[in-house]
Structure 1
């Protein structure tokens, strides 16, 4: 277990950007590992959709644990788990949830500062307290290097997010976070500013205007997450094929991909 934690930390320290494949079930995790991804993260959006729910802690934490357990038990690469805002309101409860994932063999988590039962962001001091409690709890149980990826949703919620991102990012790292995750951050000048100000690995998320990993490496980004893009593309493919089947009364389109064709030779 702790071997994967050390390996996951090392992946954030190399010159090459860590490309994180985001899985929503065991099959997608196995496919990502087979494709060559060095680490796998869960996507709360994709996992919720796969279970018939919307994102936003609509599934139970027990379902999160079940998904994490299945993936961790069946892949050899490090796994980090998206726990949204922690599936609890009190810092001690959130820290206990994280500890359960560490005990399963997870190498890290994403935890965000968005509120789940009302609009807005958790107050910065309150979120720092949550991060401090998580780190202290993990350290006390021997998980000193467990990777806490502190996600801030400033770029998803604020009109002028840069200063708040830097303020929160610095405070989160000082509170025990291992890295900073800023979904929605996409402009090169802003990325440079965050990299310069935050003394920890910066994680950004794939967007239609943010896809070039080599360019992000030049800006100092250390981690690139697919997020829910792959699960969304998979659902879109299924929808498209389903419509074609009904409209054309012909399943030929299901065999167009070369890899599918080889299964029937």
Structure 2
């Protein structure tokens, strides 16, 4: 079974797909060992690991190299977070998607946020992009490649519910495999969206949105924690590095 087929089947299961978000090889291997069935890279975590903020500030080749290393060393499917595609034109974005597929991932996340200014791509522009991506993937032998279309309506709009449904439906019609809605936490709206949109819905863990079982009962098919784990690790590292320096004593490193 190919990783693409395996990844699609995980979304079709009755059980919610809980994805572990990795930012380097060590985190990916740790998540795989813990029992996660698939890994999604976190662009935020990758950027931080290289000393940058999120937002396509690092060179795409460096980003892709980390994704490639993860994919080559884990046995479970990997989905790559490529933000808005690391390009200012459709041709570049499509080429970057194909380059990402070439390193062996089973899918991508691609968002509708603009990177050089606040706001979202117009629906028709993003639909055209998704359609071009799907056409290129199919042409190059990547049928079924999982395109998780992220919409940032809940991160950018005051009243995002109806716009989210409109965009989600349009994105699915344009070739998206699933819809990712970070920032959506209202249970009533989650239920309505899962019933209305004919594609798997992926949500992002947030302080008021944490339980896989509850989300599965609402019809959510995929759940991920984004940069939360990488942030936790960085916080732990910062705290303990400071403690070592201030105490001038390393004894606590050997405590259980």
TM class, shorter-length:
over 0.9
Matched, 1:195 2:175: no
Partner of 1:10 in structure 2?
9
Aligned to 1:163: 162
Q: Which residue of 2 aligns with 1:101?
A: 100
Q: CA deviation at 1:256?
A: 3.8
Q: CA deviation at 1:139?
A: 0.6
Q: Secondary structure at the match of 1:30?
A: helix
Displacement of 1:89: 1.9
In the alignment, is the contact (CA less than 8 A) between 1:95 and 1:137 conserved in 2?
A: yes
Aligned counterpart, 1:247: 246
Partner of 2:147: helix, strand, or coil?
strand
Please say if residues 241 and 253 of structure 1, whose CA atoms lie closer than 8 Å, have aligned partners that are also in contact: no
Distance 1:79 1:187 in 2: 28
Q: Which residue of 2 aligns with 1:220?
A: 219
Deviation, 1:197, is 1.1
Q: Which residue of 2 aligns with 1:79?
A: 78
Aligned to 1:43: 42
The answer to whether the aligner puts 1:26 opposite 2:51 as a matched pair is no
Aligned length: 256
The runs of 5 or more residues in structure 2 that have no matched partner are none
- Residue by residue over 1:175-197, the C-alpha shift from the partner in whole angstroms, topping out at 9 and shown as x without a partner, is 00000000000110010111011
**What is the root-mean-square deviation of aligned Cα atoms in Å?**
1.1
Which residue of structure 1 aligns with residue 235 of structure 2?
Answer: 236
User: Residue 144 of structure 2: SS of its match in structure 1?
Assistant: coil
* Partner Cα distance (2:160, 2:26) in 1: 37
- How far residue 86 of structure 1 moved from its aligned partner, in angstroms, is 0.3
SS at match of 2:207: coil
Secondary structure, counterpart of 1:114 in structure 2: coil
Equivalent-residue separation in structure 1 for 2:22 and 2:255 (angstroms): 24
TM-score by length of 1: 0.94
The SS at the match of 2:232 is: helix
Runs of at least 4 residues off by over 6 Å: none
1:123 deviates by 0.7
